[in-house]
Amino acid sequence: MGRRFKKDKMKKILTLDTLYTILSFFASLVILGLIWEVVAIVTDRQIPGPASTWVVFKELIAEPFYDRGPNDKGIGNQLVSSIYRVFLGFGIGTLIAVPMGLMMGSSKAMMRLFNPIVQILRPVSPLAWFPLGLLAFQAAEGATVFIIAITSLWPTLINTSFGVATIPADHKNVGKAFGFSVWKYITKIMLPFALPHIITGLRLSIGVAWLVIVAGEMLSGGVGIGFFVWDSWNGLSLEKILIAILIIGTVGLLLDKIFNAIQQGFAWENK
Amino acid sequence: MVLTDHLSETVAETPINGKATINSIEVKDVTVSFKSKKGVYTAIKDINLSIKKGEIVSLIGHSGCGKSTLMNTISGMVTPTTGEVIANDNLVKGPGPDRGIVFQNYSLLPWLSVYKNIYEAVDSVLHSKTGEEKKQIVTDALAMVNLTPHKDKLPGQLSGGMKQRVAIARAFAISPKILLLDEPFGALDALTKGSMHIELLKLWNLDHRNKTIVMVTHDIEEAIFLSDRVVVMNNGPAATIKEIVDVPLPRPRNKKDIVHDPMYMEIHDRLLSLLFDKFSINDIH
């Protein structure tokens, strides 16, 4: 009875809270639009305002997947190929970062051996990696995926190793006392404990990957949202650049929300 | 509430019979030192202790006296700096499945259900058994501690007493010859503690009192009610055994009646005077 009441009350508060969140979101969009409009007025419409951008946006969105040759593709095509590249690079990065992180977290010697390498390579800009990528893969496509992989793997690696390194002695003792095999230790103790940390790392990594894609595609050309920005600059369509910025931001937000949801799903502490 | 471990009628064998001469655990000249930043810290020094098969022995002493360290040398979690420990006729070189451990803070894996927590231990130790046999062992262990209805819960959803019952069921499930309990009931409230004592003795009886149990505690009543002998330790550092007090009270013991037994009172007094030097405000100078 009392529990039922509590549940109903919880539900009510939740909906009210959700309503405020939605309202705040729209208010936030209005503020952004106002700032944008002010900037447009101040720059004497050199930077187009929301209204004129909206007109161009409607044209773009009317036919998102057209394909008229290598340098003229719809905004949807550009976005899809960027997302594909991001996930390819992010996936490769993850395949390197997670095992490395598990290894570094579980052994002090490994940590001492590899941590300096991590610390040196981590702050390197994606642009600096690009020529190396070109050399190694002899193609712009490979180079773009390469720079995404190598710049986005660090958060996952560092978080994974941190997660594994902080496994409490209590959990380790269970493995020792009951003679867990290495495989059982990894699958039943190490991975479950480190999983929330790993997913936090993945969430940060996908953010970095999405940040890098624009720079990568500007250099590589071809097709993609980054190339679209550069192409619009050459075509002197500032509206398109602004649209691309908003799309990049929105997709980044969605990616973060998706990984946040995964994070919530795997957190055993909350159950 | 049942206050006695009344299943004693079924017991065929007692430690006093033929097997009394066989030592289950032998601690020989064990010293344990740790290296710390301030230098070498000796926790326990020159400890000698023999524990017979089927005996229940309590290690009692003040906080930091090294009683847990002594027990960890038996479990194999701590390697003696000098001396050696023999358990089940083998030199202890590390933790092994012949010695089941119940940790003070339960040490259940929070992401596994109650059932899975026991199953993974059984699967690891009794790997030669078939899947069906292992499942049966886990089911039996859960039934033994009356946790079958809670088998799919995560440890976080259980009370302290229930968690400790899972930990005890897990230790029993791998059927070790020696059971090591590190302050097993220290975090429980007094009422839960009382019923857990009975449950522990029930499990020990069901197994025909074959298991050797070593328990670390700082509770005098608990030590007397459960044990055949109480090992009193000096304060550390370099703690030694101060005295070993025999508890020849007949089993099964009744929690309510035992406290009126003159022998119980005598042992209780002896332990009190070994552990404390001040008994009233008049003793504080």
pLDDT, tens only, B231-270: 999 887 888 899 999 999 998 888 888 889 999 999 999 9
Residue of A nearest to B122 (CA): A178
Average pLDDT over residues A149-172: 94
Query: Does A154 touch chain B if contact means CB atoms closer than 8 Å?
Result: no
- pLDDT for residue B17 is more than 50: no
Q: A85 vs B65, which has greater pLDDT?
A: A85
Q: With bands split at pLDDT 50, 70 and 90, how would you rate the model's confidence at A11?
A: low
Average pLDDT over residues B211-238: 91
pLDDT reported for residue A271: 46
> Are residues A212 and A247 located together in one domain of the fold?
yes
On chain B, the residues whose CB falls within 8 A of the CB of A271 are 154, 156-157
> Are residues A24 and A131 located together in one domain of the fold?
no
Average pLDDT over residues A133-162: 92
Whole-angstrom distance, CA of residue B174 vs CA of residue B100: 7
- pLDDT for residue B113 is more than 60: yes
> Are residues A264 and A174 located together in one domain of the fold?
yes
> Are residues A200 and A89 located together in one domain of the fold?
yes
pLDDT reported for residue B13: 39
Instruction: Name the residue range of residue A112's domain.
Output: 59-270
Task: Determine, yes or no, domain membership for A54.
Answer: no
CA distance B43 to chain A (A): 20
Residue of A nearest to B97 (CA): A178
CA distance A198 to chain B (A): 16
pLDDT reported for residue B2: 45
pLDDT reported for residue B154: 92
> Are residues A219 and A258 located together in one domain of the fold?
yes
> Could you report the per-residue pLDDT of A215-264, keeping only the tens digit for each?
888 888 778 888 888 888 888 888 889 999 999 999 999 999 999 888 88
Q: Is A102 exposed, middle or buried (0-12, 13-18, 19+ CB in 10 A)?
A: buried
On chain B, the residues whose CB falls within 8 A of the CB of A192 are 109, 111-112
Q: A9 vs A80, which has greater pLDDT?
A: A80
On chain A, the residues whose CB falls within 8 A of the CB of B77 are 173, 176-177
- pLDDT for residue B9 is more than 50: no
pLDDT reported for residue A46: 86
Whole-angstrom distance, CA of residue A99 vs CA of residue A93: 11
Per-domain residue ranges for chain B?
A: 6-98+176-275
Q: For the domain that residue A69 is a member of, what is the CATH number? A: 1.10.3720.10
Average pLDDT over residues A58-74: 78
> Are residues A72 and A188 located together in one domain of the fold?
yes
Q: By the 8 A CB rule, do B135 and B214 touch?
A: no
Interface test with A, best of B77, B109, B182, B183 (most A CBs within 10 A): B109
pLDDT reported for residue B10: 40
Query: Does A271 touch chain B if contact means CB atoms closer than 8 Å?
Result: yes
pLDDT reported for residue A269: 61
Q: With bands split at pLDDT 50, 70 and 90, how would you rate the model's confidence at A1?
A: very low
- pLDDT for residue B216 is more than 60: yes
The listed CATH number (3.40.50.1820, 3.50.50.60, 3.40.50.300, 3.40.50.2020) that belongs to domain B6-98+176-275:
3.40.50.300
> Are residues A224 and A135 located together in one domain of the fold?
yes
A-B C-beta contacts closer than 8 Å = 57
Average pLDDT over residues B264-284: 85
Q: What is the amino acid identity at position B235?
A: N
Whole-angstrom distance, CA of residue A8 vs CA of residue A1: 11
Whole-angstrom distance, CA of residue A173 vs CA of residue A168: 9
Residue of B nearest to A180 (CA): B124
Q: What percent of chain B has pLDDT over 70?
A: 92
CB contact under 8 A, A179 and B75: no
- pLDDT for residue B285 is more than 70: no
Encoded tokens for B68: 């847990």
pLDDT reported for residue A6: 52
Q: Which residues contact B157 (CB under 8 A, 6 or more apart)?
A: A271
pLDDT reported for residue B215: 94
* Cα-only R_g, chain A: 23
- How many folded domains does chain A comprise? 2
Question: Which residues between 165 and 184 in chain A have a beta carbon less than 8 angstroms from any beta carbon of chain B?
Answer: 170-171, 173-174, 176-181, 184
- pLDDT for residue A41 is more than 50: yes
> Could you report the per-residue pLDDT of B35-45, keeping only the tens digit for each?
888 888 888 98
CB contact under 8 A, A177 and B124: no
Average pLDDT over residues A191-211: 93
Task: Determine, yes or no, domain membership for A33.
Answer: yes
CA distance B126 to chain A (A): 10
Query: Does B234 touch chain A if contact means CB atoms closer than 8 Å?
Result: no
Q: By the 8 A CB rule, do B95 and B76 touch?
A: yes
Q: With bands split at pLDDT 50, 70 and 90, how would you rate the model's confidence at A186?
A: very high
Task: Determine, yes or no, domain membership for A223.
Answer: yes
Average pLDDT over residues B76-95: 91
CA distances (Å), origin A3, targets A7, A8, A9, A17, B154? 6, 9, 10, 21, 21
CB-closest option in A174, A268, A269 to B107 = A174
Question: Which residues between 128 and 147 in chain A have a beta carbon less than 8 angstroms from any beta carbon of chain B?
Answer: none
pTM: 0.78
Interface test with A, best of B78, B79, B107 (most A CBs within 10 A): B107
Q: Nearest Cα to B219, choosing from B24, B63, B18, B48?
A: B63
pLDDT reported for residue B166: 92
CA distance A192 to chain B (A): 7
> Are residues A113 and A170 located together in one domain of the fold?
yes
CB-closest option in A174, A177, A271 to B109 = A174
